[in-house]
Amino acid sequence: MNAMQSKHPLKQHPVKPIPKWSSHLSVGNAKLDEQHITLLELGRNLMRLLETDTATPDQIHGALEDIVRQSRLHDALEESILAANGCPTLAEHIRVHQAARNQLDTLLEEVASSIVNKTVLSGLIADWMGHHISENDLPVKDYMKQTPPARAAA
């Protein structure tokens, strides 16, 4: 049996799966749901690159930049909606967003310096995307239902 192991084509960079969006992840706000779906799609794009041995650091950096850009847009809108609806845990929510953005910035620097570990990168992104919606957003979805008109285009 052990002889089989060395011939088994193990993936060089196993990646963690990105959670699939489904209606049970809905926060009850179409715009925020749309942004969550986009974030998950961008996460899957990154994972596909990480699974591809020929992906260049530039490609991986670009995919991560797309995630960073979308998460900044999303955090700003989500925070403005939570604030407009008087969410009592807004400060903590903002702290969690900021911590994730700081981690993303660090990952971007690591990818730019080509010192990134693909397994670690995929694990961090998949965990963040999983937690972001189910553990951070769903508990306060009652404060996400309306988009403030003046900030809707943010």
Which residues of the shown chain bind Fe ion in the complex (CB under 5 A)? 78, 136-137
Of 60 and 67, which has the nearer Cβ to Fe ion? 67
Helices marked H in the chain — which ranges?
A: 2-7, 30-51, 57-84, 90-112, 118-131
**Other C-beta atoms within 10 Å of 110: how many?**
16
Q: Find the shortest distance in angstroms from Cβ 106 to Fe ion.
A: 19
Q: Find the shortest distance in angstroms from Cβ 136 to Fe ion.
A: 5
Q: Find the shortest distance in angstroms from Cβ 42 to Fe ion.
A: 13
Of 38 and 59, which has the nearer Cβ to Fe ion? 38
Of 21 and 116, which has the nearer Cβ to Fe ion? 21
In the complex, which residue's CB is closest to Fe ion?
Answer: 137
Contacts of 75 (CB under 8 A, 6+ apart): 97, 101
* CA 8 to chain centroid: 32
